[in-house]
Amino acid sequence: MMWWIMNNDTGKHYRYSYKGINLDPFRIAAIYGITDFALLTILKKCLCAGNRGHKDKRRDLEDIITAAQRAIEMIDEDEAG
């Protein structure tokens, strides 16, 4: 059985297989060493912008901007602290 096949798999739109490697945002983040939650959110939304059913591409792009702005705010807060 494939690793992502489950009943009511609400995350199936994130999963792809490429050359025998199971890819999803978590795997890609691990490969690149991304551990920042804001960047993980941005990565997830970039990979599937407009393809998740409940949000259109515009909303996903707005969410990416919001996450990036918050990440910048956190950098500023840490540097001021």
Question: ∠ CA(13), CA(63), CA(79), 5° rounding?
Answer: 125
Residue in the block written with tokens 């792809």:
16
Residue 32 tokens read as 């690149």
- The confidence band for 21, taking pLDDT boundaries of 50, 70 and 90, is confident
pLDDT for 40-58, tens place per residue? 999 999 988 888 777 889 9
Query: Over 70: is that where the pLDDT of 3 sits?
Result: no
Q: Which residue stretches of the chain are H helix?
A: 25-32, 37-47, 57-80
